[in-house]
Structure formats: structure tokens, C-alpha cells
Amino acid sequence: MQANFVNPFLTSSLHVIETLIQIKPVVGQLSVKTIHYTEDYVWLKIGIMGQMSKDVLFGFPETVAFRMVSGMMGGYPVSHFDELCQSAVGELGNMISGNASTLLYQQGIEVDITPPHLVNGTAYAWGGQVFSIPLLIDTIGEFNIYISA
């Protein structure tokens, strides 16, 4: 995976998460791996189209989603993955991907993003190799970004 494609997603996710919930994520070990569908996880897919064609998956436990959305909403308690929570998770993925596409454009790589889509194990080919960007967010948990290879 080319660093000029991964770095904008890393930079964007650090900026967006810190701006929204006022906690700076710590970057874990970047790697290439195979991911497998896990039912207790929230999976959000955003497609990248244009000069590069990739899928970006955001994967994290449901409890992390609740804490992230609560942080985005100024501490409002969230305990169900209802429409409001789903919308906030989708917007988080949209903000990270949109910001990353702007950074890519500044590098001369023109891309567009698809609307965010919550997926389950049957809606994505989970067995492929992905580039993994794990982010550890204090008091929230682990938030993973996967970019198709």
C-alpha cells in the first residue's frame, strides 16, 4: 500500500477524532492483514473512486461506537445502536474520508467518496488483504481503519 494513500487517512482520522471528542488517538502498529467479520463490531464502508479505487472500512466494537457518539454529542449517554447512533457513525466516517480525499487532491490524486454504508458480513468480501490503521482512543477504545489492498 502506498504511503501517499494511507497517510491522508491517518492524518485525517487523527484530526477529525481529536476535533470531535477532544481526545488525541494514539496510532497502533500499522500492518497488512486479513480481517474477518465480527458480529459485535460496527462496520462502516466508504468507497473511494477516481484515480484510485479502494474500499475503506471502519471497524470497532459497538461499545466503542456508543462512547464515540456520546463524545461527539457532548457527553449525551448512548447505549443503543439506533438511527441517531448509526447516523453519527456514518458522519464520522464521512468526515474522515472527505478530509482524506482533500489531502489526496492536494497531492494531485483526484478521488471521490461514496456515501457511508453500514455493512454486515455478507455485504463485503471479508477475506481480502487490507492495510490496517489501529487507533487507540483513551477512555473510548480501539478504532480501526482498513483500506483494501
Please tell me whether the overall predicted TM-score, pTM, comes out greater than 0.85 for this model.
Answer: yes
Query: Tens digit of pLDDT per residue, the chain (149 long)?
Result: 477 788 999 999 999 999 999 999 999 999 998 887 777 889 999 999 999 888 999 999 999 999 999 999 989 999 988 999 999 999 999 999 999 999 999 999 999 999 999 886 555 555 678 889 999 999 999 999 999 87
Counting the structural domains of the chain, the total is 1
69-104 burial, b for 16+ CB within 10 Å, e for fewer?
bbbbeeeeebeeeeeebbebbbebbbbbbebbbebb
pLDDT for 128 equals: 74
pLDDT at 119: 84
CATH number at residue 66: 3.40.1550.10
What's the pLDDT score for residue 17?
Answer: 95
Q: State which residues form the domain around 90.
A: 3-148
